[in-house]
């Protein structure tokens, strides 16, 4: 990293390196898809546009050094997460041609003796309980931005590292999703088993977000659970107040992902077990890239 900075004389952040590396790796994977240069040209164009945009941001930040350019440079990676997550549904049958959901359905059956993703919402159909679960799930969509901003405004010297850890953790999960295609109950089960009743404000909000941003990918391990725990760990180090605010929402997420049928129960266990490993990998990457 220090060599890059000396050679270019530009302010290159570790998150820049992580994003460019991920886009390059997935560009190579796109070449393994049928007719990649025509059928999936838009995904290659996207990478060219993003990389050109990153270059412009780096140059602008290095030249002008204003609060706006610093803020833009730090936070632009968060705006890419939705798109690159959606791409995993395109790339996740390169290594396995069939979805691996039957394995996780059988694991749930072996561990619990039934299908928690089906039985949970049937056992607790009450509107207040459904809204509570959906509130927890919906809160997840705000966590990356809220945690990053809280750290930025309270521990600015720590913000660059925090954003990198968040971005790198997401990208590690996305690479796992590409390798292991598990779609989750909401996509794998047939109606009516695949859905839950829309009963209130938060269930409608979650349904709207799912229709726009959810794709048949990313069920195992649960990145909702894994990233929520990573956010907790980050806040424990940087913002004690935010840490205590997040705890009830993270607790709800552990159950909500199964209740709304986004994940199998074993996906939640996978999210819990993977969180420290993913964060550890992010820390190691930070040490390597930030030198």
The rounded distance, in Å, linking the Cα atoms of 25 and 272 is 27
Judge whether 13 and 73 are in contact, CB under 8 Å.
Answer: yes
Residue linked to tokens 């047939």? 190
| Domain ranges within the chain, ordered by starting residue | 2-289
Res. 6: pLDDT tops 60: no
Question: What is the band of 7 on the pLDDT scale with cuts at 50, 70, 90?
Answer: very low
Torsion of CA 214, 216, 217, 223, to 10 degrees: 40
Vertex 92 angle, CA 86 and 95, to 5°: 165
User: Tell me: the pLDDT tens digits for 171-216?
Assistant: 999 999 999 999 999 999 999 888 888 889 999 999 999 888 889 9
Report the percent of the chain where pLDDT is more than 70: 96
Mean pLDDT of 89-103: 95
pLDDT value at 2 more than 60: no
Q: What is the pLDDT of residue 235?
A: 94
What pLDDT is stored for residue 5 in this prediction? Answer: 53
What integer pLDDT is reported at residue 145 of this predicted model? 96
**The pTM of the whole model exceeds 0.85:** yes
Given a cut of 90, whether residue 165 has pLDDT beyond it is yes
Quote the CA–CA distance of 116 and 109 in Å, as a whole number: 9
Q: Are 27 and 51 in contact (CB under 8 A)?
A: no
Whole-angstrom distance, CA of residue 273 vs CA of residue 268: 9
**Exposure b/e, 173-197, CB count within 10 A at least 16 = b:** bbbbbbebbbbbbbbbbeeeeeebe
Average confidence score pLDDT of the chain: 93
| 17: three-class secondary structure by DSSP | helix
How far is C-alpha 158 from the chain's CA centre? 21
* Neighbour count for residue 19 (Cβ, 10 Å): 21
């Amino acid at each position: 990293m220090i060599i890059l900075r000396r050679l270019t004389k530009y302010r290159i952040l570790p998150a820049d390196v992580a994003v460019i590396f991920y886009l390059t790796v997935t560009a190579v994977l796109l070449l393994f898809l049928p007719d990649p240069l025509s059928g999936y040209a838009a995904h290659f164009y996207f990478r060219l546009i993003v990389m050109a945009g990153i270059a412009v941001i780096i140059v602008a930040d290095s030249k002008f050094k204003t609060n706006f350019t610093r803020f833009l440079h730090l936070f632009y990676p968060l705006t890419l997460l939705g798109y690159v997550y959606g791409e995993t549904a395109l790339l996740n049958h390169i290594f396995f041609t069939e979805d691996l959901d039957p394995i996780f359905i059988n694991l749930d059956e072996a561990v619990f003796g039934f299908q928690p993703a089906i039985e949970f919402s049937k056992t607790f159909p009450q509107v207040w309980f459904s809204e509570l679960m959906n509130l927890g799930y919906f809160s997840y969509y705000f966590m990356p931005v809220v945690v990053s901003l809280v750290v930025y405004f309270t521990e600015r010297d720590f913000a660059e590292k925090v954003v990198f850890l968040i971005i790198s953790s997401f990208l590690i999960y996305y690479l796992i999703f590409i390798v292991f295609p598990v779609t989750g109950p909401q996509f794998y089960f047939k109606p009516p088993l695949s859905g839950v009743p829309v009963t209130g404000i938060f269930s409608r909000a979650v349904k709207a977000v799912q229709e726009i941003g959810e794709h048949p990918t990313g069920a195992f391990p649960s990145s909702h659970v894994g990233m929520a725990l990573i956010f907790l760990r980050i806040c424990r180090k940087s913002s004690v107040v935010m840490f205590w605010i997040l705890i009830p929402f993270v607790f709800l997420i552990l159950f909500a992902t199964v209740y709304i049928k986004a994940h199998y129960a074993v996906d939640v266990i996978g999210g819990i077990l993977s969180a420290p490993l993913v964060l550890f990998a992010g820390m190691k990457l930070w040490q390597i890239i930030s030198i």
